[in-house]
Protein backbone atom coordinates (compact mmCIF):
# COMPACT_ATOMS: atom_id res chain seq x y z
CA UNK A 1 0.00 0.00 0.00
CA UNK A 2 1.37 3.40 -0.97
CA UNK A 3 1.33 6.27 1.54
CA UNK A 4 -0.91 9.13 0.47
CA UNK A 5 1.49 11.76 1.81
CA UNK A 6 4.70 12.76 0.10
CA UNK A 7 8.11 13.65 1.46
CA UNK A 8 8.95 13.92 5.15
CA UNK A 9 5.32 13.54 6.26
CA UNK A 10 5.22 10.03 4.73
CA UNK A 11 8.50 9.17 6.46
CA UNK A 12 7.18 10.41 9.81
CA UNK A 13 3.99 8.36 9.40
CA UNK A 14 5.97 5.28 8.41
CA UNK A 15 8.14 5.65 11.57
CA UNK A 16 5.12 5.98 13.88
CA UNK A 17 4.58 2.20 14.34
CA UNK A 18 8.24 1.78 15.36
CA UNK A 19 7.94 4.58 17.93
CA UNK A 20 4.81 3.06 19.44
CA UNK A 21 6.12 -0.53 19.43
CA UNK A 22 9.61 0.17 20.80
CA UNK A 23 10.17 3.77 21.91
CA UNK A 24 13.43 2.89 23.67
CA UNK A 25 15.01 2.05 20.27
CA UNK A 26 14.81 5.68 19.18
CA UNK A 27 15.87 7.23 22.49
CA UNK A 28 12.44 7.77 23.99
CA UNK A 29 11.55 6.53 27.43
CA UNK A 30 8.34 4.47 27.43
CA UNK A 31 5.40 6.50 28.81
CA UNK A 32 7.75 9.41 29.48
CA UNK A 33 8.28 12.88 28.19
CA UNK A 34 9.18 13.04 24.55
CA UNK A 35 12.30 14.96 23.61
CA UNK A 36 12.56 15.95 19.96
CA UNK A 37 15.18 18.27 18.51
CA UNK A 38 16.10 19.55 21.97
CA UNK A 39 12.53 20.27 23.10
CA UNK A 40 10.50 18.56 25.84
CA UNK A 41 6.93 17.53 24.98
CA UNK A 42 4.07 15.91 26.87
CA UNK A 43 3.37 12.32 25.78
CA UNK A 44 -0.32 13.12 26.28
CA UNK A 45 -0.84 16.83 26.94
CA UNK A 46 -3.53 18.34 29.12
CA UNK A 47 -6.30 19.67 26.90
CA UNK A 48 -8.23 22.32 28.81
CA UNK A 49 -8.16 24.93 31.52
CA UNK A 50 -11.07 25.55 33.86
CA UNK A 51 -11.37 29.14 35.05
CA UNK A 52 -13.18 30.18 38.25
CA UNK A 53 -13.78 33.66 39.67
CA UNK A 54 -16.20 34.34 42.52
CA UNK A 55 -15.95 38.15 42.25
CA UNK A 56 -17.36 39.53 39.01
CA UNK A 57 -18.11 43.25 39.55
CA UNK A 58 -15.91 46.09 38.29
CA UNK A 59 -13.33 47.35 40.80
CA UNK A 60 -14.27 44.63 43.31
CA UNK A 61 -11.50 43.74 45.76
CA UNK A 62 -10.77 40.43 47.47
CA UNK A 63 -11.05 38.16 44.47
CA UNK A 64 -8.76 35.45 43.16
CA UNK A 65 -8.65 34.13 39.62
CA UNK A 66 -8.33 30.31 39.58
CA UNK A 67 -6.85 28.43 36.63
CA UNK A 68 -7.29 24.64 37.03
CA UNK A 69 -5.44 22.09 34.89
CA UNK A 70 -5.75 18.32 35.08
CA UNK A 71 -2.63 16.48 33.93
CA UNK A 72 -3.44 13.16 32.21
CA UNK A 73 -2.09 9.94 33.73
CA UNK A 74 -0.18 9.37 30.47
CA UNK A 75 1.31 12.88 30.32
CA UNK A 76 4.73 11.30 30.73
CA UNK A 77 6.13 14.28 32.61
CA UNK A 78 5.12 16.75 35.29
CA UNK A 79 3.67 20.21 34.73
CA UNK A 80 6.64 22.55 34.58
CA UNK A 81 4.64 25.73 34.22
CA UNK A 82 1.94 27.77 32.55
CA UNK A 83 1.85 30.81 30.32
CA UNK A 84 -1.25 32.98 30.68
CA UNK A 85 -1.78 35.96 28.36
CA UNK A 86 -4.65 38.45 28.45
CA UNK A 87 -5.85 38.62 24.84
CA UNK A 88 -9.12 40.53 25.25
CA UNK A 89 -10.65 43.01 27.65
CA UNK A 90 -11.04 46.80 27.74
CA UNK A 91 -8.97 47.32 30.90
CA UNK A 92 -5.37 46.44 30.08
CA UNK A 93 -3.83 47.99 33.16
CA UNK A 94 -5.35 46.26 36.20
CA UNK A 95 -2.55 44.94 38.38
CA UNK A 96 -1.90 41.83 40.45
CA UNK A 97 -0.40 41.13 43.86
CA UNK A 98 2.23 38.66 42.63
CA UNK A 99 3.39 37.86 46.18
CA UNK A 100 -0.13 36.55 46.94
CA UNK A 101 -0.04 34.09 44.02
CA UNK A 102 -0.34 30.47 45.07
CA UNK A 103 -0.97 26.98 43.72
CA UNK A 104 -2.44 23.83 45.21
CA UNK A 105 -3.53 20.34 44.28
CA UNK A 106 -7.27 20.07 43.70
CA UNK A 107 -9.90 22.60 42.75
CA UNK A 108 -11.12 25.89 44.24
CA UNK A 109 -12.95 25.36 47.53
CA UNK A 110 -11.56 21.80 47.59
CA UNK A 111 -7.89 22.64 48.14
CA UNK A 112 -5.29 19.98 48.70
CA UNK A 113 -1.58 20.30 49.39
CA UNK A 114 0.21 23.52 48.47
CA UNK A 115 2.39 23.46 45.35
CA UNK A 116 5.44 25.76 45.22
CA UNK A 117 5.01 28.34 42.47
CA UNK A 118 6.97 31.24 40.98
CA UNK A 119 5.11 33.94 39.05
CA UNK A 120 6.41 36.68 36.76
CA UNK A 121 4.19 39.22 35.03
CA UNK A 122 4.95 41.39 32.01
CA UNK A 123 2.46 44.27 32.22
CA UNK A 124 3.16 45.50 28.70
CA UNK A 125 2.37 42.15 27.11
CA UNK A 126 -0.17 41.20 29.82
CA UNK A 127 1.59 37.84 30.14
CA UNK A 128 2.19 35.65 33.19
CA UNK A 129 5.06 33.17 33.23
CA UNK A 130 4.39 30.57 35.91
CA UNK A 131 6.87 27.88 36.92
CA UNK A 132 6.50 24.99 39.33
CA UNK A 133 9.90 24.19 40.93
CA UNK A 134 8.41 20.86 42.09
CA UNK A 135 6.26 19.96 39.05
CA UNK A 136 2.85 18.38 39.75
CA UNK A 137 3.02 14.83 38.39
CA UNK A 138 0.84 13.03 35.82
CA UNK A 139 -2.65 12.37 37.14
CA UNK A 140 -2.64 15.48 39.35
CA UNK A 141 -5.13 18.33 39.19
CA UNK A 142 -3.46 21.62 40.03
CA UNK A 143 -4.97 25.07 40.49
CA UNK A 144 -3.11 28.35 40.17
CA UNK A 145 -4.62 31.30 42.08
CA UNK A 146 -3.74 34.81 40.89
CA UNK A 147 -4.81 37.73 43.04
CA UNK A 148 -5.62 41.08 41.42
CA UNK A 149 -5.46 44.18 43.58
CA UNK A 150 -8.98 44.74 42.28
CA UNK A 151 -11.05 43.61 39.31
CA UNK A 152 -10.81 45.55 36.04
CA UNK A 153 -12.44 48.99 36.06
CA UNK A 154 -14.45 48.32 32.88
CA UNK A 155 -17.22 45.78 32.34
CA UNK A 156 -16.31 43.40 29.52
CA UNK A 157 -15.55 39.82 28.60
CA UNK A 158 -11.87 39.21 29.39
CA UNK A 159 -10.01 36.36 27.71
CA UNK A 160 -6.77 34.74 28.82
CA UNK A 161 -4.93 32.33 26.51
CA UNK A 162 -3.41 29.50 28.56
CA UNK A 163 -0.55 27.15 27.63
CA UNK A 164 0.87 24.26 29.68
CA UNK A 165 4.62 23.67 29.72
CA UNK A 166 6.08 20.21 30.34
CA UNK A 167 8.86 19.89 32.90
CA UNK A 168 12.17 19.55 31.11
CA UNK A 169 14.57 21.51 28.94
CA UNK A 170 13.19 23.89 26.32
CA UNK A 171 9.51 22.94 26.87
CA UNK A 172 7.09 22.92 23.93
CA UNK A 173 3.86 24.63 25.05
CA UNK A 174 0.55 22.78 24.83
CA UNK A 175 -2.36 25.19 24.20
CA UNK A 176 -5.23 24.72 26.67
CA UNK A 177 -7.64 27.24 25.18
CA UNK A 178 -9.02 30.39 26.75
CA UNK A 179 -10.12 31.26 30.25
CA UNK A 180 -13.18 33.52 29.96
CA UNK A 181 -13.91 36.07 32.69
CA UNK A 182 -17.09 38.17 32.72
CA UNK A 183 -16.85 41.46 34.59
CA UNK A 184 -20.10 43.34 35.17
CA UNK A 185 -21.12 46.86 36.14
CA UNK A 186 -23.44 46.88 39.15
CA UNK A 187 -27.01 47.87 38.20
CA UNK A 188 -27.87 51.40 39.30
CA UNK A 189 -31.27 53.11 39.40
> Could you report the per-residue pLDDT of 36-46, keeping only the tens digit for each?
778 999 999 99
Mean pLDDT of 113-139: 97
Which tens digit of pLDDT belongs to each residue from 51-109? 999 999 999 999 999 999 999 999 999 999 999 999 999 999 999 999 999 999 999 99
Residue 119 has pLDDT above 60, yes or no: yes
Whole-angstrom Cα distance, residue 97 to residue 84? 16
Say if residues 24 and 32 touch (Cβ distance below 8 Å). no
Every domain of the chain and the residues it spans: 44-183
Does the pLDDT at position 146 exceed 90? Answer: yes
In the three-class reduction of DSSP (H, G, I as helix; E, B as strand; rest coil), residue 119 is classed as: strand
Instruction: Give 98's DSSP letter.
Output: G
User: How many angstroms separate the CA atoms of 26 and 28, rounded?
Assistant: 6
Cα 78 from chain centre: 12
Choose the CATH number for 44-183 among 3.30.56.10, 2.60.40.740, 1.10.150.530, 3.30.930.10: 2.60.40.740
Query: CA distances (Å), 21 to each of 9, 14, 29, 68, 72, in order?
Result: 19, 12, 12, 34, 21
Q: Is the pLDDT of residue 20 over 60?
A: no
- Which own/partner pairs from 161-164 qualify as long-range (CB within 8 Å, at least 24 positions apart)? 161/83, 161/84, 161/85, 161/87, 162/49, 162/67, 162/69, 162/82, 162/83, 162/84, 163/82, 163/83, 163/84, 164/42, 164/45, 164/46, 164/69, 164/71, 164/79, 164/81, 164/82
Can you give the pTM of this predicted structure? 0.81
Cite the DSSP H helix spans in 102-177.
none
pLDDT of residue 25: 36
CA atoms of 33 and 39, how far apart (whole Å): 10
Residue (of 123, 126, 120, 118) closest to 159 by Cα position: 126
Amino acid sequence: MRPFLLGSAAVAISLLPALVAAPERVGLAPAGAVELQGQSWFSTPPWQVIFTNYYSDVNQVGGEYYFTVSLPEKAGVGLGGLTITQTRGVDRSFQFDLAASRAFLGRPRHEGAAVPVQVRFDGDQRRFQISFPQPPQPGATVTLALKPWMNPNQADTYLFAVEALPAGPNPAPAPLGFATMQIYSPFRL
